[in-house]
């Protein structure tokens, strides 16, 4: 490096965890992120100028013709103009600081492609004049936040669930296994269930007033009318209702779904924005069962090919082959010993993270299903995060630890180094 030091209280590095649902923002060395901002942006025209609404409150502002979109695709930045607007909002409106005052550590998915990494460092240096930048794999940071350099990360988030093996602090890229079954998939399963039961999903913005009605009676409510509401803005507001339903009602059975068993579990009462209310019993278990039992899914939308426990076993198997190829040992008995050690290390260090894993019963179900698949000789240990907040923020927490370490200083890409080497430096430094 050029000799600069990017740690300490005076110049705290900014840590940005870029997630499909929200972006977590804060400073290295702090316990939790300062802000949790939706990764969606509302775009509309006013006086022939394009306007951007960013942040929870602004997204709910009603502007005729406003479209809600995201800058991400498959966890990677797709629309760089929108992402630039998000970063400007974060630094000017939330952190109230200038880009050139802080080095920036950004998270990235384990499967990120090379040209996306180059575009990211180019943006940070050329557009925002950052003094230093580092890109870190989110899965690796989860391992760091749990003090486990070798581990298997099971991350169930908004758009997908993944199994990512980490060996000595590095992602085993050839052994990453992904499924499109995340919380968005479960929300769609829940929406179809409610549709079958003739529940009208009315978002809050449409409700002017409502009356108290008995359980399962038709709601009595008065509607607000707005002009220029787009399908994308309306769907975003409906999704918020479904996210609350997801968090309040849904639960996983600790074993394979058995209707006679779950029928004995307590029901959960839920009231929708328009006043309609009812108890949910077996439905709240049945909706989330496709995460672990593919035959339970309904509809013709996303069709996952692997359940969560199969993601784990498949990834460990692929990881074993990949690591063995790297080690290159000729003696068969030694190879066999390495395979067993690697299997044992991965299965005894399975870390669960991601907002969708906060579904009640997720850890217990994964443990039970893996116990049926993992050989008895293997020691299985599932490591859940400490509480729902840590599960959601785990990559950011790891970034906050990493960015504050004095030993990390040589891993920053400085502005001077970028100008001397170019954007390709990201592949050797990060």
| Position 98 pLDDT exceeds 50 | yes
pLDDT of residue 139: 96
Percent of the chain with pLDDT over 70: 92
Alpha-carbon distance 425 to 233, whole Å?
40
Alpha-carbon distance 11 to 346, whole Å?
37
Q: Do the Cβ atoms of 410 and 38 come closer than 8 Å?
A: no
Percent of the chain with pLDDT over 90: 79
For residue 148, count other CB atoms closer than 10 A to its CB.
18
| Position 1 pLDDT exceeds 60 | no
Instruction: List the chain domain ranges.
Output: 14-138+395-429, 147-181+306-384, 183-296
Classify domain 147-181+306-384 by CATH number: 3.30.420.40
Alpha-carbon distance 420 to 429, whole Å?
14
Residue 115 vs residue 331, higher pLDDT: 115
The residue-averaged pLDDT of 39-48 equals 94
Q: Do the Cβ atoms of 405 and 398 come closer than 8 Å?
A: no
CATH level 3 topology of 183-296 = Actin; Chain A, domain 4 (3.90.640)
Residue with tokens 């000789």: 377
pLDDT of residue 319: 75
Sorted by sequence, the CB contacts under 8 Å of residue 18 that are 6+ apart come out as 39, 72, 77, 106, 107, 108
pLDDT digits (tens, 9 = 90+) for 135-166: 999 999 999 999 999 999 999 999 999 999 99
| Position 384 pLDDT exceeds 90 | no
| Position 388 pLDDT exceeds 70 | yes
Same fold, 14-138+395-429 and 147-181+306-384: yes
pLDDT of residue 12: 86
| Position 333 pLDDT exceeds 60 | no
Residues in the chain, total = 430
Classify domain 14-138+395-429 by CATH number: 3.30.420.40
pLDDT of residue 56: 95
pLDDT of residue 389: 85
| 38 burial via Cβ count (<10 Å: 0-12, 13-18, 19+) | buried
**For residue 332, what pLDDT band results from cuts at 50, 70 and 90?**
very low
**For residue 335, what pLDDT band results from cuts at 50, 70 and 90?**
very low
pTM of the shown model: 0.90
Which string of DSSP letters, residue by residue, matches 307-350?
A: -HHHHHHHHHHHHHHHHHHHH----HHHHHHHHHHHHHHHHT-E
| Position 133 pLDDT exceeds 80 | yes
**For residue 378, what pLDDT band results from cuts at 50, 70 and 90?**
confident
Q: Do the Cβ atoms of 24 and 36 come closer than 8 Å?
A: yes
Which string of DSSP letters, residue by residue, matches 369-429?
A: HHHHHS-TTS---EEE-SHHHHHHHHHHHHHHHHTT-GGGGGGSEEHHHHHHH-TTHHHHH
pLDDT digits (tens, 9 = 90+) for 268-290: 999 999 999 999 999 999 999 99
pLDDT of residue 375: 85
**Largest alpha-carbon pair distance within the chain?**
77
Average confidence score pLDDT of the chain: 90
pLDDT of residue 49: 93
| Position 6 pLDDT exceeds 80 | no
Segment holding 134, helix H or strand E: strand 132-137
pLDDT of residue 401: 95
Rg of the Cα atoms in the chain: 23
Angstrom CA distances, 192 to 197, 241, 280, 289, stand at: 9, 14, 15, 14
| Position 353 pLDDT exceeds 90 | yes
| Position 60 pLDDT exceeds 90 | yes
């Amino acid at each position: 490096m050029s000799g600069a030091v990017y740690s300490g209280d005076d110049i705290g590095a900014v840590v940005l965890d870029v997630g499909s649902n929200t972006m977590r923002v804060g400073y290295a060395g702090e316990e939790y992120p300062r802000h949790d901002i939706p990764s969606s942006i509302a775009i509309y025209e006013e006086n022939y100028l394009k306007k951007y609404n960013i942040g929870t409150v602004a997204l709910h502002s009603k502007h005729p013709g406003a479209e809600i979109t995201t800058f991400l695709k498959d966890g990677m930045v797709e629309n760089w103009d929108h992402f630039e607007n998000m970063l400007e909002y974060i630094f000017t409106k939330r952190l109230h600081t200038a880009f050139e005052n802080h080095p920036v550590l950004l998270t990235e998915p384990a499967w990120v492609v090379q040209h996306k990494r180059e575009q990211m460092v180019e943006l940070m240096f050329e557009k925002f004049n950052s003094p230093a930048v580092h890109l870190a794999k989110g899965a690796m940071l989860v391992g760091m936040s749990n003090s486990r350099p070798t581990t298997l990360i099971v991350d169930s988030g908004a758009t997908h669930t993944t199994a990512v093996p980490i060996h000595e602090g590095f992602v085993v890229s050839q052994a990453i296994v992904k499924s499109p079954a995340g919380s968005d998939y479960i929300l769609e399963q829940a929406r179809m269930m409610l549709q079958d039961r003739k529940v009208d999903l009315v978002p809050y913005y449409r409700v002017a007033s409502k009356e108290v009605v008995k359980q399962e009676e038709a709601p009595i409510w008065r509607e607000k009318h707005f002009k220029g509401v787009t399908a994308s803005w309306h769907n975003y507001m409906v999704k918020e209702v479904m996210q609350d339903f997801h968090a309040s009602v849904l639960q996983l059975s600790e074993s394979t779904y058995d209707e006679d068993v779950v029928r004995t579990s307590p029901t959960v009462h839920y009231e929708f924005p328009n006043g309609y209310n009812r108890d949910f019993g077996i439905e709240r278990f049945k909706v989330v069962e496709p995460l672990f039992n593919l035959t339970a899914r309904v509809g013709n939308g996303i069709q996952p090919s692997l359940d969560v426990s199969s993601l784990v076993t498949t990834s460990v198997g692929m990881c074993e082959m990949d690591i063995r190829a790297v080690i290159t040992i000729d003696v068969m008995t030694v190879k066999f010993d390495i395979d067993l050690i690697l299997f044992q290390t991965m299965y005894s260090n399975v870390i669960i993270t991601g907002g969708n894993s906060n579904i009640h019963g997720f850890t217990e179900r994964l443990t039970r299903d893996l116990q049926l698949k993992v050989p008895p000789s293997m020691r299985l240990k599932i490591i859940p995060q400490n509480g729902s907040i840590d599960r959601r923020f785990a990559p950011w927490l790891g970034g906050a630890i990493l960015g504050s370490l004095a030993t990390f200083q040589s891993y920053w890409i400085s502005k001077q180094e970028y100008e001397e080497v170019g954007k390709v430096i990201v592949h050797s430094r990060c």
